Amino acid sequence: MQQLPLGVQLKERATFASFLTGDNAELIEHLQAVAVSGAGSVTWLAGSPAVGKSHLLQAVCSLAGSHGRAGYFPLAAIAAVTPEFIAGAGGLDCVCMDDLQVVAGDPAWESALFGLYRQLETRRAILVIAAEQLPGQLGLGLPDLQSRLAAAANFVVQPLNEEQQLAALTLRAKLRGLELPDETGRYLLRRLPRDMATLAELLDTLDVASLVAQRRLTIPFIRDVLEKTPQA
pLDDT under 50: residue ranges of the chain: 1-6, 232
Q: Is residue 150 part of a domain?
A: yes
* Residue 216, domain member (yes or no): yes
Q: What is the pLDDT of residue 69?
A: 93
SS3 of residue 174 by DSSP: helix
pLDDT at site 81: 77
Give the pLDDT confidence score for residue 3 in this predicted structure.
41
Q: Do the domain assignments include residue 7?
A: no
CATH classification of the domain holding 202: 1.10.8
Q: What is the pLDDT of residues 173-217, one digit of tens each?
A: 998 888 999 999 999 998 888 777 788 888 888 889 998 999 999
* pLDDT, tens digit (0-9, with 9 covering 90-100), for 45-61: 999 998 999 999 999 99
Is the residue at 63 inside a domain?
yes
Round to whole Å and give the CA distance between 155 and 159.
Answer: 13
Q: What does pTM read for this prediction?
A: 0.86
Q: Are residues 99 and 194 in the same domain?
A: no
Domain that holds residue 135: 25-156
